[in-house]
Structure 1
Amino acid sequence: MLLKRFSVFLLSISIAGTLSAQETKVQGPDGNLSVSFSINEGRLFYSLKNRGETVLENSPLGLYTNEGDFVDSLSLVDSEMDKVEKTYEQDRIKTSKVTYKANVLRLTVENGQKNKLSVVFQVSDHDVAFRYELPVWGERRSAVVLREETGYRFPENTTAFLSNMMTPMTAFARTAPSYESGYIADAPLAKAKSKYGFVFPGLFRIGNTGWALLSETGVSSLYCASHLSEISTEGVFHVAYPDMAQNNGFGSTGAAVSLPAVTPWRTITVGNDLQPIVETTIPFDVVEPLYEASQQYKFGKSTWSWIVWQDQSMNWKDQVTYIDLASDLGYPYILVDAFWDENLGKEKLEELVQYAKSKNVDIFLWYNSNGAFNDAPQGPRNKMNTSIVRKSEMKWLQRIGVKGLKVDFLGGDKQETMRLYEDILSDANDHGLMVIFHGATLPRGWERMYPNYVGSEAVIASEMLIFSQHARDNEAFYATLHPFIRNTVGSMEFGGVLLNKYLHKENKDRNKRLTTDAFQLATAVLFQNPVQPFALTPNNLSDVPSFEIDFMRNVPTTWDETRFIAGYPGKYAVLARRHGEKWYLAGVNAEDTPQKIKLHVGMLGGGLQSMISDKSDGTTYQSNLKIDKRGEVEVTIQPKGGIVIF
């Protein structure tokens, strides 16, 4: 990694004062993004413009701590500007090589008790990241951050695309919140009401002038995760900390910190169109690895029986069948899901690992996170929640050759839960194990922070298509939101590509799939996760066209570049991703009418040759691609249908 910092002294105020008579400003390198600051009646505010158009009106900043508040009676004591530039490589996100340049403004304020606090803004061409820095306060070297005043005030003509925070200790076995709610889409701000607020990320359309995506990154064991409050009567979304009821009421809602300390980064991605939203790397730009990988981890595709064949498949015969399926497809992994401890046991599991190895397949193994803060009965339970038991279990997993874990039912954003995430990841790395989290919170820069982290669910994923008619009815709608919201800030373990016409083992009569095969294939590209369990079943090898299986044999799960091509959240989405020298373009349509689009693909090079798409009757077919001299191709994406071009 190349890291350069240039310190450019812009402004230093050595005496306490206010910004009421002046405005401090920081712009991005290209001058388009501009953040301005002011202190009005002792309170600190910021505003944001893009190309002169307002993105955020005066929005509040500040913290409440047990050592004093940094909200009222503030005065400015120092202000200075820096620049940051770095390049880095990352093998598990949407782009493998990244260059990040930003201008940095550090504002230091003082409260009525003469304690200081700094707020640091980094502004790049399309992204704003900011956080608070807490110094040592006299003899105080520890503190608790109780809550934030931080807020976002959008112009009145803004509409919102938001997913509500689930009610704590509800849903299956009291495992909520698990970031598995639906969305309001293009809703007026006045309708952004939810008692428990909204999860990060949140997408906003600002009239006809542009888009903004709000999120956070850099959350580790040293802090709690946060979310957006419902809109206030003053028209402000605030950063909100976890509800006390989460995790069965155990753990505090704020963050205990050792001074000096920093908060996680709050991020704002801005664009005139959706390209910066889809292509942003800001969740990873402002964080660094917390430890080194104990080995080089191998990513790729996986089969898993549970998604379609369910709990009954957790037996030797069915797991061997799915190992054979993975081997036939050339997939490096099988995910062995819940209840393996009861139905197979450790001795037979060791035999299964050896059988898989004989087929050049490795195993990911499911675990319940613990039983202390939910009622989930699935086992193994109480193996991940304490250090002594966890390390012993992981030592055994390493010895028998398991390659990764899927840890489920974490259900909360408190600092106590963030510690559990980090402890699992750190111990797993010591034993050469990758980790997927399920029934879990949004990942916040974790692909870069934790080298053995390989994805989280945190979405209405494929299992809900099995369980819920509502999810099946809205599958296409949600699929056209995820590339612009959830999946753009972090890996998304969706577990999809369901090619059964009916979503159960018998593949008839019930749980009818409402999207086409081409739609399903497209999600293999649209949804990014470095280790992705796909929902293919053994019967698909003979009951779907061979070109569909060939596509699923070859489609990668890691990408070197991602580009926005076309789309509108909730209506349709078209993205292109590159693996090595080969591009894959995928699109889906949630509308009730066909979507005719002229795609500009010339910039992707001459390697695109084939297209899989749908006829009006829902039949999926493959054809040769015809690109005109201008590098354009006209396609039609059928309702609840899709295309893949490769």
Structure 2
Amino acid sequence: MRIIFVVCCMLINTALYSQNKITVSSPNGLLEVKVSMDDGISMYSVNYKGIVMLENSPLGLLTNEGDFTSNLSFVDASTDEINNHYTQDKIKTSFVKYQANTLTYTVKNEEGKQIAFHFQVSDHDIAFRYELPKWGDTRATVVEREVTGFRFPSATTAFLSSMMKPMTGFARTAPSYESGYVTDVALESTTAEYGYVFPGLFKIGENGWVLLSETGVGSNYNGSHLSSFKDGLYTIEYPQMEQNNGFGSTGAQIGLPGFTPWRTITVGKTLKPIVETTIPFDVVEPLYEASQAYQYGKGSWSWIVWQDNSMNYEDQVKYIDLAAAMDFEYILIDAWWDERIGYEKMEKLINYANSKDVDVFLWYNSNGTANDAFQTPLNKMNTSFARKKEMKWLKEAGVKGLKVDFFGGDKQETMRLYEDILVDANDHGLMVIFHGTTLPRGWERMYPNFVGSEAVLASEMLIFSQGVREKEAFYASLHPFIRNAVCSMEFGGILLNKFLNRGNKQGQERLTTDSFQLATGVLFQNPVQMFGLTPNNLSDVPVFELDLLRKLPTTWDETVFIDGYPGKYSVLARRSGKHWYIAGVNAENTAKTLKIDLPMLKGQEVSLYNDDKEIQPTLQTVKVGKNGELTVTVQPRGGFVLTH
């Protein structure tokens, strides 16, 4: 057997075997993962173009049926290749080719029980997970803890958002992935008490970038996050016990054979692979078929600016008329609709919307037991019988989608609730947006009727917080590189009131330009976008801005990184069919002149939406150079959009 094993290894050019040290490379040979054993501890490291991106970092699980964190011994290894392709209409690109080389590295503990580390390495991405076989008659286990770690070179700096303290914030609904960011900071300073949410971005000195995240989390597991920096590395941490009001395990209960979610590592010399990665979707599969063809698009939404007082029949008619005037597909009717409009009048309102070619999303509180959120409809989504009864009515009334709010936590118990809502909604032909929520982890592909999650310090906080308004451009420049790089992001943006309230005369002043707001419609990717326009915008906003929003897509065939640096500025190009949209924002306090390279538009005339020196919105026709270059000046807290 030993001779056969060695011969087989010599025939495989994707991996190098040396006793228990094994290297698997990407198809282009530039990205390498080395898995090894050191004194009974399994380790891995990552090199890109011969440069260390992750130093030796630990692997391992602790389960209630065995310890796989130490005193391990090597069993065997195998390699393979993946050559796959798929189409997906809800992510940053519509057609994906995924090629990777794989390594399955099997070890055993002192009791002889085995576990495998399975790696898939494509040209810029690594996905790995733990695979657990049956152990004798044992067919179930609880994974209690991971020691999976990420040890970066010493020159690395971090771009991270902290995990919120459980059972705090509004009505004890935290954590909901709504914290700010530290940017370009030394690892030693990242010591947040509850760690950091996925994804996390790291700059490896002058050698490149690494984005960490996870994917493939449904009812099968709990969501995880990064620890604070300790003993020279970050580790995977499971939810705090306090989440979900202290109910449910912090680990995961799985059947055997079984596996964990994927941990993902995206690597690049530049930020281009970070922005363009599709790894969260490459390694997951749809869990069920769509019950129908779902339609994506844009919507109006009264609550974001007009708030709770707009939850009445007359104001919702105004927002239906706004959606119709803007050629939007949807209106989102938010909290309290059941009490302040009522089910019977809601059916009448839905019929009115449909007469205007507008469809309806309705808001629901996810809660029943987990926190103190009190807005109604309440106790409609948290149990199976109540949910199915409600969704039967929704389908009969002609509602097309739900926005479900106030989850707070990453325990497996909560992940089951997400999945249960999605599965039941699909049975009734309903799309789902989640709010006050966790990061979606591959859900765009896993769940056909999932159409977005907040999981970001989003537009509502622009209404409530002066500090967030002051940092709006800063955060927007981060999202294409971090939060929105791994999944869709239902931000609820494009606010064109000068003051973010119903009167639009004084109060919460918007500190970004109109062109900045338009640019976020391209920068922020989500298949259904509920925008913050108000009825008065039909007459107090330049017509050319409204015309751009009327034709703006929400789904894309291609996304290309153009330029930027997280926290300073960002420029992306997205293609829908034959039409390109290029958008950029400037987070800094001085105007920035950019020479951008647009090879897809060489020598062509394009429409440029921008701000002049007086910060007034402008529209002009410009021509891209024959070499594909175009110079654009972006005002402080401003932005631009190019359309073709």
Shorter-chain TM-score bucket reads over 0.9
Q: In 2, distance between residues paired with 1:450 and 1:331?
A: 24
**AA matched with 1:190:** E
For the Cα contact (< 8 Å) 2:602–2:624, is it kept in 1?
A: no
Q: Where does structure 2 lack aligned partners over 5 or more consecutive residues?
A: 1-5, 11-16
Q: In 2, distance between residues paired with 1:145 and 1:442?
A: 21
Pair 1:640 & 2:637 matched: yes
The equivalent of 2:490 in structure 1 is 493
Local SS of the residue matching 1:277: helix
Q: In 2, distance between residues paired with 1:305 and 1:274?
A: 37
For the Cα contact (< 8 Å) 1:20–1:40, is it kept in 2?
A: no
Q: In 1, distance between residues paired with 2:75 and 2:352?
A: 67
For the Cα contact (< 8 Å) 1:151–1:237, is it kept in 2?
A: yes
For the Cα contact (< 8 Å) 1:79–1:105, is it kept in 2?
A: yes
Q: In 2, distance between residues paired with 1:200 and 1:533?
A: 24
The equivalent of 1:334 in structure 2 is 331
For the Cα contact (< 8 Å) 1:11–1:79, is it kept in 2?
A: no
The equivalent of 2:243 in structure 1 is 246
For the Cα contact (< 8 Å) 2:603–2:626, is it kept in 1?
A: no
Q: In 2, distance between residues paired with 1:205 and 1:215?
A: 15
Per the TM alignment, residue 37 of structure 1 is displaced from its structure 2 partner at its CA by 1.5
Pair 1:260 & 2:250 matched: no
For the Cα contact (< 8 Å) 1:9–1:82, is it kept in 2?
A: no
The correspondence of residues 144-293 of structure 1 with structure 2, limited to 5 A, is: 144-232=142-230, 234-293=231-290
Per the TM alignment, residue 10 of structure 1 is displaced from its structure 2 partner at its CA by 5.0
The equivalent of 1:124 in structure 2 is 122
Per the TM alignment, residue 453 of structure 1 is displaced from its structure 2 partner at its CA by 0.2
Aligned counterpart in structure 2 of residue 578 of structure 1, from 555, 575, 579:
575
Q: In 2, distance between residues paired with 1:464 and 1:417?
A: 24
User: How big is each residue's C-alpha offset from its partner over 1:109-142, in whole Å with a ceiling of 9 and x where there is no partner?
Assistant: 0000100000100000000000000000111101
Per the TM alignment, residue 279 of structure 1 is displaced from its structure 2 partner at its CA by 0.2
**AA matched with 2:342:** G
Per the TM alignment, residue 607 of structure 1 is displaced from its structure 2 partner at its CA by 6.0
Q: In 2, distance between residues paired with 1:605 and 1:624?
A: 15
Per the TM alignment, residue 23 of structure 1 is displaced from its structure 2 partner at its CA by 2.2
Aligned counterpart in structure 2 of residue 406 of structure 1, from 403, 428, 443:
403
The equivalent of 2:451 in structure 1 is 454
The equivalent of 1:373 in structure 2 is 370
Per the TM alignment, residue 39 of structure 1 is displaced from its structure 2 partner at its CA by 0.7
The equivalent of 2:522 in structure 1 is 525
User: How big is each residue's C-alpha offset from its partner over 1:207-266, in whole Å with a ceiling of 9 and x where there is no partner?
Assistant: 00000000000001010000000011x211001100000011111100001111010000
**AA matched with 1:26:** V
Q: In 2, distance between residues paired with 1:604 and 1:481?
A: 26
Local SS of the residue matching 1:625: strand
Pair 1:540 & 2:537 matched: yes
Local SS of the residue matching 2:478: coil
Q: In 1, distance between residues paired with 2:419 and 2:8?
A: 38
Local SS of the residue matching 2:623: coil
User: How big is each residue's C-alpha offset from its partner over 1:45-78, in whole Å with a ceiling of 9 and x where there is no partner?
Assistant: 0000000011000000000000111011111111
The equivalent of 2:13 in structure 1 is none
Change beyond 3 A, Cα 1:607–1:142:
farther
User: How big is each residue's C-alpha offset from its partner over 1:419-453, in whole Å with a ceiling of 9 and x where there is no partner?
Assistant: 00000000000000000000000000000000000
For the Cα contact (< 8 Å) 1:10–1:81, is it kept in 2?
A: no
For the Cα contact (< 8 Å) 2:605–2:621, is it kept in 1?
A: no
For the Cα contact (< 8 Å) 1:454–1:531, is it kept in 2?
A: yes
More displaced 10-residue stretch of structure 1: 370-379 or 350-359: 370-379
Q: In 2, distance between residues paired with 1:9 and 1:21?
A: 13
**AA matched with 1:132:** Y
The equivalent of 1:346 in structure 2 is 343
More displaced 10-residue stretch of structure 1: 271-280 or 591-600: 591-600
The equivalent of 1:422 in structure 2 is 419
The equivalent of 1:390 in structure 2 is 387
**AA matched with 1:461:** A
**AA matched with 1:147:** R
Per the TM alignment, residue 605 of structure 1 is displaced from its structure 2 partner at its CA by 5.8
Q: In 2, distance between residues paired with 1:352 and 1:621?
A: 37
Change beyond 3 A, Cα 1:346–1:119:
same
Per the TM alignment, residue 606 of structure 1 is displaced from its structure 2 partner at its CA by 6.2
Change beyond 3 A, Cα 1:499–1:525:
same
Change beyond 3 A, Cα 1:604–1:235:
farther
Q: In 1, distance between residues paired with 2:206 and 2:256?
A: 44
Aligned counterpart in structure 2 of residue 85 of structure 1, from 83, 86, 98:
83
Q: In 2, distance between residues paired with 1:596 and 1:75?
A: 57
Per the TM alignment, residue 602 of structure 1 is displaced from its structure 2 partner at its CA by 2.6
Per the TM alignment, residue 625 of structure 1 is displaced from its structure 2 partner at its CA by 1.5
**AA matched with 2:627:** R
For the Cα contact (< 8 Å) 1:10–1:80, is it kept in 2?
A: no
Q: In 1, distance between residues paired with 2:540 and 2:286?
A: 45
For the Cα contact (< 8 Å) 2:302–2:319, is it kept in 1?
A: yes
Percent pairwise identity: 64
Q: In 1, distance between residues paired with 2:468 and 2:305?
A: 15
The equivalent of 2:475 in structure 1 is 478
The equivalent of 2:500 in structure 1 is 503
Local SS of the residue matching 2:290: coil
Pair 1:109 & 2:107 matched: yes
Local SS of the residue matching 1:609: strand
Q: In 1, distance between residues paired with 2:626 and 2:251?
A: 59
Local SS of the residue matching 1:24: strand
Local SS of the residue matching 1:79: strand
For the Cα contact (< 8 Å) 1:179–1:459, is it kept in 2?
A: yes
The correspondence of residues 33-48 of structure 1 with structure 2, limited to 5 A, is: 33-48=31-46
Q: In 2, distance between residues paired with 1:605 and 1:301?
A: 30
For the Cα contact (< 8 Å) 2:601–2:628, is it kept in 1?
A: no
Local SS of the residue matching 2:462: helix
Local SS of the residue matching 2:414: helix
For the Cα contact (< 8 Å) 2:197–2:225, is it kept in 1?
A: yes
Local SS of the residue matching 1:465: helix
For the Cα contact (< 8 Å) 1:178–1:412, is it kept in 2?
A: yes
The equivalent of 2:3 in structure 1 is none
Change beyond 3 A, Cα 1:482–1:608:
farther
Local SS of the residue matching 1:629: coil
Per the TM alignment, residue 626 of structure 1 is displaced from its structure 2 partner at its CA by 2.0
For the Cα contact (< 8 Å) 2:274–2:481, is it kept in 1?
A: yes
The equivalent of 2:354 in structure 1 is 357
**AA matched with 2:337:** W
For the Cα contact (< 8 Å) 1:465–1:471, is it kept in 2?
A: yes
Pair 1:611 & 2:627 matched: no
Aligned counterpart in structure 1 of residue 593 of structure 2, from 585, 591, 596:
596
Per the TM alignment, residue 620 of structure 1 is displaced from its structure 2 partner at its CA by 1.1
The equivalent of 2:627 in structure 1 is 630
Per the TM alignment, residue 603 of structure 1 is displaced from its structure 2 partner at its CA by 2.3
Kindly tell me the number of residue pairs found equivalent between the two proteins: 632
> How large is the RMSD of aligned CA atoms in angstroms?
1.2
**What's the TM-score once normalised by structure 2's chain length?**
0.97
For the Cα contact (< 8 Å) 1:95–1:561, is it kept in 2?
A: yes
